[in-house]
Amino acid sequence: MAVPKSHHTKSKRNRRRANIFLTAPNLTACPKCGKPVLPHHACPNCGFYRGREVIDTLSKLSKKERKQREKEMKPEEGEKKPLNWEGLSKKQ
């Protein structure tokens, strides 16, 4: 039977065993901007969480970067706005 030459410490043993359970994080798409986000976390791209802006991401950007980010976050022309009672009651 094989006999180890030296003693393996608990930390060495536990580090080896820790790699068995490594998995990729489950990412979901942000409903506002569509970027991948961890569940139950605010989006680092747009700063929104559960429909509210909780982080002002534009305040720390330079003027050029801010314009580009605002353009990305702006809804596209092809998207329709959700209907509400005020919109339905107006004559077209």
E strands, 1-92, in order: 28-29, 36-37, 48-49, 52-53
CB 58 within 8 A of CB 46: no
Specify the 3-state DSSP secondary structure of 28: strand
Could you tell me the pTM of the whole model? 0.50
What's the pLDDT at 38?
93
- pLDDT tens string for the chain (92 positions)? 788 889 999 999 999 898 888 788 899 998 888 889 999 999 988 888 988 888 888 787 888 888 887 887 776 555 566 666 666 666 55
